[in-house]
C-alpha cells in the first residue's frame, strides 16, 4: 500500500477538483492519506474531508505561520478536538524562523501547547522546523524529559545535528518531493542518515511537487515518486521501501487500524 502521510486537501488549490484529486490518488495505488490542519479555525473543513472518506484521516493543530491567529491557544482546546475518532495526530506545529510570519515567542508558546496535547492524548506530534534547529532541539529535549511523546519531523530539511538529537528521542522522519530536486544534495544526505525503521513518505501537496512535476500543483497521486527516490537513496527495492514505510507509518499513527 502507498500511504501519503501529509496532504493539505482543504487547501484552496483543491477547491475546484478535490474529489478528482482523491480519485487519482486511489487510482495510483494510494491506500491511505492523512490530511493536515494548518490552523485550529480550519479544523471543521479538515475534519469534513476525513469524515467523508474512509481512507483519509486528519490531524488538529496550528502551523507556526498561523500561530498569531490564536497566540493563547492552550492544550485543552487541542485535546477536545483530538477526541474525534478520525483525528490521528497533533499538528502541524513547530517553529519557522525563516519567514517569521508569527512572532517567535508566540510560535514557541503555541508549540509547547501542542506538545502538551500530544503527551496527554498519546497522539503523534507533527513537527515543522525551519531555520530553528537549536531552539527546536532544546524545546523537544526539555519537553521529552518531562514526559515522553511521539513525534514526526515532517518534510525533514533541517541539519544533521537536529536529526541526531530528535532521532535520539525516538522521532520519525518523513521524506517529501524535495529529495528529488536537483540541488537538494543536503536533503538527500539527511535521508541516508535517518533511522531505517522510522521513515515515512509524504507529498505535502499542493506544495513541493516531485520531479518531473516540479513547479506544478502537487497531488497525493505523486507520492510513489517520493517512495522511489527514498528506495534509491537507501538501496532498497520498491517492495522493501513500501513495506518499511508502511510499517513505520502504522507504528507512528497507531490510532489508524492496520489493514
Residue 216 lies in a domain: yes
Residue 257 lies in a domain: no
Residue 53: per-residue pLDDT: 98
Residue 164: per-residue pLDDT: 98
Residue 144: per-residue pLDDT: 98
Q: What's the pTM?
A: 0.97
User: Residue 197 is part of a domain; what is its CATH number?
Assistant: 3.20.20.140
Residue 94: per-residue pLDDT: 98
Taking the C-alpha atoms of residue 126 and residue 195, their distance in angstroms, rounded to an integer, is 17
Q: How confident is the model at residue 158 (pLDDT cuts 50, 70, 90)?
A: very high
Residue 258 lies in a domain: no
| Cell 487510482, located at residue | 27
- Provide the number of structural domains found in the chain: 1
Residue 79: per-residue pLDDT: 98
From residue 182, alpha-carbon distances to 29, 55, 136, 187, 188 in Å are 26, 33, 28, 11, 10
Residue 238 lies in a domain: yes
Residue 113: per-residue pLDDT: 98
For residues 73-96, give the mean pLDDT: 98
Whether the upstream peptide bond of residue 212 has omega within 30° of 0, thus cis, is yes
For residues 170-175, give the mean pLDDT: 98
Residue 166: per-residue pLDDT: 98
Model pLDDT for residues 122-154, shown as the tens digit of each residue: 999 999 999 999 999 999 999 999 999 999 999
Residue 259 lies in a domain: no
Amino acid at each position: 500500500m502507498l500511504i501519503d502521510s501529509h496532504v493539505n486537501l482543504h487547501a484552496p488549490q483543491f477547491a475546484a477538483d478535490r474529489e478528482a484529486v482523491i480519485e487519482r490518488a486511489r487510482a495510483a495505488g494510494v491506500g491511505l492519506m492523512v490530511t493536515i490542519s494548518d490552523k485550529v479555525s480550519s479544523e471543521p473543513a479538515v475534519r469534513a474531508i476525513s469524515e467523508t472518506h474512509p481512507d483519509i484521516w486528519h490531524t488538529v493543530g496550528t502551523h507556526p505561520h498561523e500561530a498569531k491567529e490564536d497566540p493563547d491557544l492552550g492544550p485543552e482546546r487541542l485535546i477536545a478536538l483530538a477526541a474525534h475518532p478520525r483525528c490521528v495526530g497533533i499538528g502541524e506545529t513547530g517553529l519557522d524562523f525563516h519567514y517569521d510570519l508569527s512572532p517567535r515567542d508566540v510560535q514557541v508558546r503555541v508549540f509547547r501547547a501542542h506538545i502538551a496535547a500530544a503527551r496527554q492524548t498519546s497522539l503523534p506530534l507533527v513537527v515543522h522546523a525551519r531555520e530553528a534547529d537549536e531552539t527546536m532541539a532544546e524545546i523537544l529535549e526539555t519537553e521529552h524529559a518531562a514526559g515522553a511523546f511521539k513525534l514526526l519531523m515532517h518534510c525533514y530539511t533541517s541539519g544533521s545535528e537536529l536529526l541526531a538529537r530528535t532521532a535520539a528521542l525516538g522521532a520519525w522522519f518523513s521524506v517529501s518531493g524535495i529529495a528529488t530536486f536537483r540541488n537538494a544534495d543536503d536533503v538527500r544526505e539527511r535521508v541516508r542518515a535517518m533511522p531505517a525503521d522510522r521513515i515515512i513518505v509524504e507529498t505535502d501537496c499542493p506544495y513541493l511537487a516531485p520531479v518531473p512535476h516540479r513547479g506544478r500543483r502537487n497531488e497525493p497521486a505523486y507520492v510513489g515518486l517520493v517512495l522511489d527516490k527514498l528506495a534509491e537513496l537507501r538501496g532498497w527495492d520498491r517492495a522493501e521501501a513500501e513495506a518499511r514505510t508502511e510499517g513505520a507509518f502504522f507504528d507512528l499513527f497507531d490510532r489508524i487500524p492496520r489493514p
